[in-house]
Chain A
Amino acid sequence: MRLPTAGRITIGLFLAAALAAPVPAVGQDKPRYGGELTFVVPSEPPSFDAHREETFGTIHPIAPHYNTLFRTDPTDNTGTKVVGDLAESWQFSKDMRTLTVKVRQGVKFHDGSVLTSKDVKASYDHIIFPPAGVASSRKGAYVVVEAIEVPDAQTVRFRLKWPEASFLSNLASPYNFIYQADKLAADPRWYEKNVMGTGPFKFVEYVKGSHWVGKKNPDYWDKGKPYLDGYRAIFMTSSSAMVAAVRGERAHAQFRGFSPSERDSIVQALGNKITVQESPWNCLILVAINHEKKPFGDRRVRKALTLALDRYEGSKALSRIAVVKDVGGIQVPGTPWATPPAELEKLAGYGKDIAANRAEAKRLLKEAGAENLSFTYKNRGVAMPYEPVAIWLIDQWRQIGITVRQEVVEAAAYYATLRGGDFEVAADFQCGFTVEPDLDIYKFQSASISHANYSRYEDKVLDDLYVKQARAVDAEERKKALRAFEKRLLDEEVRYIYTLQWHRIIPHSAKMRGWTITPSHYLNQQLDTVWLSE
């Protein structure tokens, strides 16, 4: 086999194009029962308790053991449609300040005990009101919750301090595993080292540095599911090993994402034994501009920085070598609240006439007295896609006469650098578990409100707009507020710069069916809808 013919690549790309379209994978064929799904995971879980961890290394091997109260529809490739998991039905009160949820009956934990609303309350208390000494990573996301009540064994009631449009999406976080109340009462940290949920798969074994195995839960409440007999998650750190595993048909998939060259090599080797699903990814690299360092407090300088970037050419070129692709604003393109491309073009740096943009940038720099600007760009010490994006940024800035030196900060020291404001311009990033404005733009509020605002600015207008869109009950009103927020953030004040949206590429064995890609690598990992065609 010589280097691939054009034909092979075309097949691969065709498949990619076909499957990128929003066609639900389930329902095309009749699901077959049986088989063990093997997939590789690039990261091991630091602990088994998803309430405290922030990494997909916890989700991928462990999510199949649990249910959450709500989740996103596994057949929805935008990952935004909320459906009930353990929630059978739910209703908001008229003033939108109470959410009453009916919990499913007949659900059993893996040890045989029956799930009641008590367990749901205990789990959410663990997340929102953790006892002393227990870390919860998402506490801050639920400040709106005043209390959780259980009027009876089948009902949970969330009482909110104010109406919040995104509350349901927020509850659908894949990290909100429902634990057993008794275990939590006995030891709130029990779940860090133990697994016991209601999910479609039971825990079998975990060998550190090697693999995690789960087997089918025969008493699963969703009759007829899961289809698989079990699954095996293999831990690998090197991306070449992961590619080799999929390529050698020793694993069906890797659920985080591969780079374009990795996808090409897998497709070359396996042709139509591989299905490629691609989607915009709700992750991206942001450029934080430290307003406290001269001359970046000057809006003209910041605007010049964003005007210099030819995003469209960058997208075409970088998508060949890195996991970035789409040009987007504050929401992932193609999702409900995203700005249509025509409107996006009106924002600074998103226009198609790059020559004019760059001329304007140079003019602004001159006006601000920062003509021969030179600074250090502090980048995060992770290769893909931080390195290619940095090279691109530095080259683009060079086109308007700015000299930039890159300094890579190791991952462990990176947060301290950002938090301490020890930089002029730095790479920042954000990965959301679902595409929801409240979650995606929270960080851009004033530094006094958002601890993740590393550009270190105060902007009351942005804060007000944030609250406005968060409390907006009418969809059109919310859209207006979001557009205004985006305009101020990216065009008028250029508080942060959006580079290119990441692009999720999942080449998986064609035998694996029933799994739909979403913009988030945290979603859709319970594997209850997945089946193997042979």
Chain B
Amino acid sequence: MWKYVVKRFFLMIPTLLGVAVFIFFLMRIVPGDIVELRFSGESSYASKENLAAERARFGLDKPLWRQFVTWMWGVVRLDFGTSMWTGAPILEEIKLRFALSLQLAIMATAVGVALALPLGVAAALKQDTWIDYVARMVSIAGIATPSFWLGILMILTLLVVFHWLPPMVYTPFWVNPWQNLLQLIWPALAVGYRLSAVVTRMTRSAMLEVLREDYIRTARAKGLVETLILKRHALKNAMLPVLTVTGIEFAFLMGGLVVTEQVFNLNGLGLLFVQAVARRDYTMTQALVLLVASVFIIVNFFMDLMYGWLDPRIRYR
């Protein structure tokens, strides 16, 4: 088992490194740069000397490999540098948005799982009945509906039917929980619905697989009560793939909610991301990509560990 853990752990490093190299060079291939954007402002002209001087200040005139090494050296010491657009330390900028994105991700996942588990289990138990069909249609609808469109509809409904708009400025949960929830419940619902769709399908198919297993038949033959079978055997074993999918979806929610954040005007990581790319803020984009990729890779790592622990066959791959 240890060999498996160590191997998986060390495999994370080349992946992260690869991501770092990729984003570094990708950003520099994309045309346009931040200096032009800053100085041209609302006229379409900026003087060449200003541009050159600013570029030098950011170190953009140095050879690429050198810029890369400087950046990586900082990353290794957990110094992500300063945002090229605002000049503030990147960790500070991210901290401002992190709480919101994290809270939204947690709320959406909670909403999703709360919807998905009962629906998926019910669909599996009553397979091919109308309950199953309805559950499947609802979950496919969740995957099919663009969540940003759902968001637009939500705001529209609130406005037209209830004549009310959710608060547009973020208040942290510990400052004013009511305001905070009032703002975040709507995007949580929109995103959570989609997440619930994915998890419902996984729950259903995992339950179906488990229910067919021999040990369930044995338990039934032994005369155990059905609910006990469900709880003690079926559900527990079905949870593994469900947990995996939930974990991956959660990882995706951190920084992946670009369009939803725009629709609900949330000052989150997704918006920061899009702004950073639009402004060609190299340092910010690089840091954010590393952050999001790390979350994803680490979540995957733990998923792999769980699988390896529970299914010994996997360890020997």
Contacts and interface: CB of A to CB of B under 8 A. Distances in A.
Q: Do chains A and B touch in the complex (CB under 8 A)?
A: yes
B126 interface: no
A179 to B, nearest CB: 19
Contacts of A139: 47
A46 B86 contact: yes
B37 A55 contact: no
A54 B43 contact: yes
Contacts of B300: none
A248 B163 CA distance: 11
A451 B47 CA distance: 9
A99 to B, nearest CB: 25
A412 B43 contact: no
Nearest to B168: A241
Contacts of A250: 169
Given A208-B96, A412-B34, A241 B44 contact: no
B45 interface: yes
A238 B44 contact: no
Nearest to A451: B45
B296 to A, nearest CB: 25
A135 B39 contact: yes
Interface in A237-288: 237-238, 240-241, 244-245, 247-248, 250, 283
B236 interface: no
Contact of B36 (A47, A245, A415): A415
Interface residues of A, number: 47
A521 to B, nearest CB: 9
A411 interface: yes
Interface string B116-156: 00000000000000000000000000000000000000010
Given A410-B278, A451-B45, A452-B45, A415 B37 contact: yes
B32 A410 contact: yes
Given A47-B87, A238-B265, A452-B45, A415 B40 contact: yes
B280 A412 contact: yes
B312 interface: no
Contacts of A454: 44
B87 A244 contact: no
B33 A133 contact: no
Nearest to A453: B45
B219 interface: no
B39 A54 contact: yes
Interface size band for B: 35 or more
A65 B86 CA distance: 20
Contacts of A53: 38, 41
Contact of B31 (A140, A234, A247, A413): A413
A244 B37 contact: no
A137 B34 contact: no
A431 interface: yes
Given A410-B32, A410-B278, A416-B32, A236 B40 contact: no
Contact of A244 (B33, B50, B168): B168
B1 interface: no
A40 B30 CA distance: 32
B88 interface: yes
User: Which of A55, A137, A236, A414 lies at the interface centre, i.e. has the most chain B CB atoms within 10 A of its CB?
Assistant: A137
Nearest to B275: A237
Given A46-B38, A238-B262, A412 B267 contact: no
Nearest to B57: A133
Contact of B45 (A47, A237, A240, A443): A443
A411 B31 contact: no
A56 B43 CA distance: 12
B130 to A, nearest CB: 39
A228 to B, nearest CB: 22
Interface in A405-427: 410-416, 418
Interface string A190-212: 00010000000000000011000
Given A410-B32, A414-B32, A415-B37, A245 B44 contact: no
Contact of B50 (A135, A240, A248): A135
Contacts of B46: 54, 137, 415
Interface string B74-102: 00000000000111100011001100000
7 contacts: A1-B163, A44-B86, A53-B38, A54-B43, A208-B92, A245-B168, A430-B43
Interface of B: 30-34, 36-47, 50, 53-54, 85-88, 92-93, 96-97, 155, 163, 165, 168-169, 262, 265, 267, 271, 275, 278-280
